[in-house]
């Protein structure tokens, strides 16, 4: 087979065992912590289904050794959101909640970087969020840890610091939709497959980054990561 343009490379993340996890698609959960929903002016009620949006696979950045993220164009409001990342090892359609965790390879700490001004404009017009959420390098992620080594975290402090000052703090057990429920819900719409990555939503305290911001983020029992905005 001769391709007419170069075949794109597969984005991937480091794994704590020295191997790599290839990225197929990135799904993100919106408003999965009541206090964050409130700070966005939204209801923290558990609705009929989790609110899901996507980022391109190549928005993912391996930040296992830190990463420099260039301040993106067309915005004046780059915001941080720290989130639990869930790496999917095997797929399926209509996955039952009680079988969902069997599809998880492992976990990491991710940033769902967001252009809040573009998101606010999109919301006001009823337009898609893509430019606010799916820009280049908008998803830096720590090394992944296999669930075989760490189990499945049900609770754990989720935190983010900018220049040494605490900005975000929450706990995984505050999530409105559990990881298993999110996997089940996504698989009602599309067939989940190995390599899919899910960012499970952010706790309250989101806020702006500027050129020079040094970000550290972590989830107790999962890991830590960091980026610098340049
Ligand atoms: Mn988010």
Domains of the chain, residue spans: 12-229
Mean residue pLDDT across the chain: 97
Q: What's the CA-to-centroid distance between 114 and ligand 1, angstroms?
A: 8
Beta bridge partners of 62: 141
What per-residue confidence (pLDDT) applies to 173? 97
Q: Is 117 exposed, middle or buried (0-12, 13-18, 19+ CB in 10 A)?
A: middle
Neighbours of ion ligand 1 (CB under 5 A): 81, 112, 202
Give the DSSP per-residue string, 163-230.
TTEEEEEEEGGGBSS-HHHHHHHHHHHS-B-TT-EEE----S--EE--TT-EEEEEETTTEEEEEEE-
- 15 C-alpha to center of ligand 1: Å? 22
Mean pLDDT over 211-218 rounds to 98
pLDDT at position 186: 98
Q: Which pLDDT belongs to residue 44?
A: 86
Distance 180 CA to ligand 1 centre (A): 18
Work out the average pLDDT over 56-74.
98
Query: Which CATH superfamily, name and number, covers 12-229?
Result: Fumarylacetoacetase-like, C-terminal domain (3.90.850.10)
Tens digits of per-residue pLDDT, 97-124?
999 999 999 999 999 999 999 999 999 9
pTM: 0.98
């Amino acid at each position: 087979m001769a391709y007419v343009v170069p075949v794109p490379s597969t984005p991937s993340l480091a794994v704590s065992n020295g191997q790599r996890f290839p990225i197929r698609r990135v799904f993100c959960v919106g408003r999965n912590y009541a206090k964050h929903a409130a700070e966005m002016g939204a209801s923290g009620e558990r609705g009929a289904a989790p609110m899901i949006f996507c980022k391109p696979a190549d928005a993912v950045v391996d930040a296992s050794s830190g990463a420099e993220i260039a301040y993106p164009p067309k915005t004046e409001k780059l915001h941080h959101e720290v989130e639990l990342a869930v790496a999917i090892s095997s797929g399926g359609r209509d996955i039952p909640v009680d079988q969902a965790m069997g599809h998880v390879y492992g976990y990491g700490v991710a940033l769902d970087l967001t252009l809040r001004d573009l998101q606010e404009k999109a919301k006001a017009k009823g337009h898609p969020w893509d430019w606010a959420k799916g820009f280049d390098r908008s998803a830096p992620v720590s090394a992944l840890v296999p669930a075989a080594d760490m189990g499945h975290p049900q609770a754990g402090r989720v935190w983010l610091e900018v220049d040494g000052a605490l900005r975000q703090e929450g706990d995984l057990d505050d999530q409105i939709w559990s990881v298993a429920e999110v996997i089940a819900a996504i698989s009602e719409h599309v067939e989940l497959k190995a390599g899919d990555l899910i960012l499970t939503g952010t706790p309250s305290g989101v806020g702006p980054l500027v050129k020079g911001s040094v970000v550290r983020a972590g989830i107790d029992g999962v890991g830590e990561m960091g980026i610098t905005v340049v």
